[in-house]
Amino acid sequence: MPWTKTYGNKTEFEKAGGAAAGLRGLTYKEALHEATAQMLEADKDVFVMGEGVDDAGGVFGSTKGLHLRFGRERVMDTPLAENALTGIAIGAALTGMRPIFVHMRVDFVPLTMDQLINHAAKWHYMFGGAVSVPMTIRSIIGRGWGSAGQHSQSLQSLFTHAPGVKVVMPANPYDAKGLLRSAVYDGNPVIFIEHRWLYDHVGHVPEKPYTVPIGKGIIRRQGSDVTIIALSLMVFEAMQAAEALAAEGIDAEVIDLRALKPLDTPLILESVRKTGRLVVADTGWQTCGIGAEIIANITEEAFGALKAAPVRINLPECPTPASPALEKLYYPGKDEIIAAARKTLKARHDATQFSPRIARQGHRGIEKRGDRP
Amino acid sequence: MKRAVRHQAQTEIEKAVLVKMYTSMLRIRLFEERIAALYPEQEMQCPVHLCIGQEAIAAGVCMRLEEKDYVFSNHRGHGHCLAKGSAMAPLFAEFYGRKTGCSRGKGGSMHVIDVKNGILGTSAIVGGGIPMGVGAALASRIRGDGRVTVIFFGDGASEEGVFYESFNFAALKRLPVVFVCENNFYATNSPQAARQASCRISSAAAAFDAHGVCIDGNDVTAVYEAAGAAIANARDGGEPSLIEAITYRWKGHVGPNADFENGCRPKDELFDWLDRCPIRTFKARLLECGAMTDEEMSETATIIDKEIDTAVAFAKASPFPGASDLLSDVYAGQNHAMD
């Protein structure tokens, strides 16, 4: 499917013949913008709130200018009061509105944990289904340029723990648009986590409104040797890794998880039963992360299918450092995914095939990380 | 603790309103007393936070509301629901953990709901309901539906950051909401003076260029007057305000008993407040001005007792939720009507 492929920018999309094939290329941020504009246009119950949604930048372009079209009552700048504003969104949602609350960084969402976990997540269950909270929380993972410990976290696992919320992480423009619409009309609190490094990625996005189902992962590349489950920016890395692996005869299957909650366990099990090998590439930390959950599910449901120990790709267990020298060491990418896939295939591909570069960088290499207690 | 409070100028209140407010207060009192009486049976297996002594605030404020208006309450919320018009049976059934409860047995006494009467769910995290109420008022502003939201919270909640965050937003956007702080001087067992620098909660409104007033929360007519002005302002001009109503809870923080025996609060303090019982003092005034007779009051109590009997019987006869209910309603059903 054409929309499963994303490009680093519009030129690449053009070069690949996207426009020639009659496909419209949009960036991730344009896809978010279009989805939001279409919902604001068609539905009076939808409104956007968040710090800076109406400023010149418009949340890195994703809400830019919407206040001019729809007014500041529906595209509303807010005080810096994240917890109350979350409660305010919940209260509005309880009356049938569909707020989209935007945080420029995921790091600000922990300020809202009381309203999110103690309230929004429970409001449907705790009152026997009498009311619901159709609320979307958009937030963005930052990275690079010394963003450091409080502006670049990947906190999806925190939100995934509590029943009652859904957590989605679109990895390309098509899903960004379709999942945002699904989130707004889901009827539940949906945590919608974007990645700043995906904002300029280009892919095919139909103009007409559409939805992408929440809780359904998708196979981005079919393969038979090893399953690579990735989310958000790591899908992009995993696709590059799969291409490199193909060159050395390893046929990797890449699953874009798209949602952490609900987790598409059937899709994961089907793939692992086929390949017997698993790599999980997450943008966040390892402890209690989605990789742990996925591997636990597989050991419970398909223990016998595993031919090798699964490998997790995560951030090192420390906050994000600021120095460019340390940042470079901090983030895993396609090289680590390649090494991890090779590791699961160690029986077939002996140790000599390990990249010498990875072996030298033992302090950040997969083997070293995997050996940690 | 004692506090000089500003008494509202008493204007003439219609007899029918006086009778309704008396009935509303008595309904709350008898409801709560019945819980206290039945609680030792240990069939109501959830924590109960009784509002005996504080009835005038719920009754006086809700007398000024319409059915469509929203009320956001808290863990000590039975009185607010009853005053807003909630039926007793779904409440008792909820306390008894039955499937017929207002929250189908999933919420208990701290989490009651009555959508028809504008109660969209009750938080037991102190201060938690405050922003939700402001959100409902925001929706009313966006839609122009003419509804007012009243948020009831305690003196403890006025210490939570979310109170100031919410009040600022309501004042900034001029939302149709009234903040009603029931100051009973205690957060669980911690006295207000040990927790607050100024002990003048209503003054907080001034920091947001909004109107704040401190009233005698045990005088239902004072509450009625203050709420009338605040709710009218909210409805007409979308101007939020803060009412601090001074009162006292007779029972302990949780459970059916008084807590002075445990040394939680001074006995003299409680007895001083028992003398200021909002129902007894109002009753005397009604008799004095001839708004109600003794017989009418007895008849009112009898009717309420019967309502309670029926509700308790309904609750006790109702089925418990079953295993299939455990995992139901975690998520709302999909709604793709817009596609």
Residue of higher predicted confidence among B265 and A352: B265
For residues B105 and A132, the answer to whether their CB atoms sit within 8 Å is no
Return residues 112-131 of B near A (CB < 8 Å). Answer: 113, 115, 120-121, 123, 125, 128, 130-131
* Distance separating alpha carbons of residues A130 and B25, to the nearest angstrom: 27
Cβ contacts (< 8 Å) between A185 and chain B: which residues?
Answer: 335-339
* Residue B6, pLDDT above cutoff 50: no
Q: Do A87 and B166 touch (CB under 8 A)?
A: yes
Q: How far is A176 from chain B (nearest CA, A)?
A: 17
Looking at residue B71, its pLDDT comes to 98
For residues B181 and B157, the answer to whether their CB atoms sit within 8 Å is yes
pLDDT tens across B283-337, in order? 999 999 999 999 999 999 999 999 999 999 999 999 999 999 999 999 999 443 4
- Count how many pairs of residues, chain A against chain B, have C-beta atoms within 8 Å: 169
The beta strands (E) that lie in chain B are given as: 70-72, 149-154, 177-183, 186-187, 190-191, 211-216, 241-246
Return residues 198-227 of A near B (CB < 8 Å). Answer: 209-211
Active-site positions of A read 151
Q: Do A126 and B121 touch (CB under 8 A)?
A: yes
Chain length of chain B = 339
Return residues 121-180 of A near B (CB < 8 Å). Answer: 123-134, 163-164, 166
Q: Is B156 helix (H, G, I), strand (E, B) or coil?
A: coil
Q: Do A88 and B338 touch (CB under 8 A)?
A: no
A103: enclosing H helix or E strand: strand A98-103
B72 touches chain A (CB under 8 A): yes
Looking at residue A347, its pLDDT comes to 57
Looking at residue A289, its pLDDT comes to 97
Q: How far is B309 from chain A (nearest CA, A)?
A: 24
pLDDT tens across B56-78, in order? 999 999 999 999 999 999 999 99
Torsion B212-A120-A180-A235 (CA) sign: positive
Burial (0-12, 13-18, 19+ Cβ within 10 Å), A192: buried
Nearest CA among A289, A294, A247 for reference residue A272 = A294
Q: Give the residue ranges of chain A where pLDDT is below 70.
A: 1-5, 347-373
* Residue B96, pLDDT above cutoff 90: yes
* Residue B8, pLDDT above cutoff 80: no
Q: Which CATH superfamily is domain B15-251+260-311 in?
A: Thiamin diphosphate (ThDP)-binding fold, Pyr/PP domains (3.40.50.970)
Give the contacts of A246 (CB within 8 A, at least 6 positions apart). A252
**pTM exceeds 0.90:** yes
B86 touches chain A (CB under 8 A): no
Q: Do A126 and B168 touch (CB under 8 A)?
A: no
A119 touches chain B (CB under 8 A): yes
For chain B, first and last CA: distance in Å?
A: 60
Q: Do A124 and B332 touch (CB under 8 A)?
A: yes
For residues A236 and A287, the answer to whether their CB atoms sit within 8 Å is no
Q: What ranges do the domains of chain B cover?
A: 15-251+260-311
The domains located in chain A, with CATH, are: 2-204 (3.40.50.970), 218-371 (3.40.50.920)
The predicted complex's ipTM stands at 0.94
The Cα-based distances of A60 to A17, A26, A167, A204, B157 in angstroms read 27, 15, 21, 20, 37
Q: Which residue from A89, A128, A210 is facing B135, i.e. has the nearest CB? A: A89
pLDDT band at B7 (very low <50, low <70, confident <90, very high): very low
For residues A202 and A6, the answer to whether their CB atoms sit within 8 Å is yes
For residues A222 and A271, the answer to whether their CB atoms sit within 8 Å is no
B327 touches chain A (CB under 8 A): no
For chain A, first and last CA: distance in Å?
A: 42
The Cα-based distances of A226 to A240, A292, A301, A305, A352 in angstroms read 15, 18, 18, 12, 19
Return residues 324-353 of A near B (CB < 8 Å). Answer: none
Chain B residue with the nearest C-alpha to that of A209: B339
Q: How far is A123 from chain B (nearest CA, A)?
A: 7
The Cα-based distances of B109 to A12, A115, B25, B188 in angstroms read 60, 20, 19, 17
Torsion B124-B127-B128-B132 (CA) sign: positive
Q: How far is B237 from chain A (nearest CA, A)?
A: 17
Q: Do B330 and A125 touch (CB under 8 A)?
A: yes
Cβ contacts (< 8 Å) between B111 and chain A: which residues?
Answer: 126-127
Query: Would you give the DSSP letter of residue A319?
Result: P
B197 touches chain A (CB under 8 A): no
- Candidates B123, B134, B151, B339: best to mutate against A (most CBs of A within 10 A) is B123
Cβ contacts (< 8 Å) between B142 and chain A: which residues?
Answer: 47, 73-74, 92, 97
Looking at residue A364, its pLDDT comes to 43
Structure tokens at B225: 């007057």
Cβ contacts (< 8 Å) between B113 and chain A: which residues?
Answer: 127-128, 130-131
pLDDT tens across A294-326, in order? 999 999 999 999 999 999 999 999 999 999 999
Q: Which residue from A92, A123, A128 is facing B139, i.e. has the nearest CB? A: A92
pLDDT tens across B115-139, in order? 999 999 999 999 999 999 999 999 9
Chain A residue with the nearest C-alpha to that of B338: A185
Residue of higher predicted confidence among A12 and B280: B280
Q: Do A84 and B136 touch (CB under 8 A)?
A: no
Q: Do B135 and A93 touch (CB under 8 A)?
A: yes
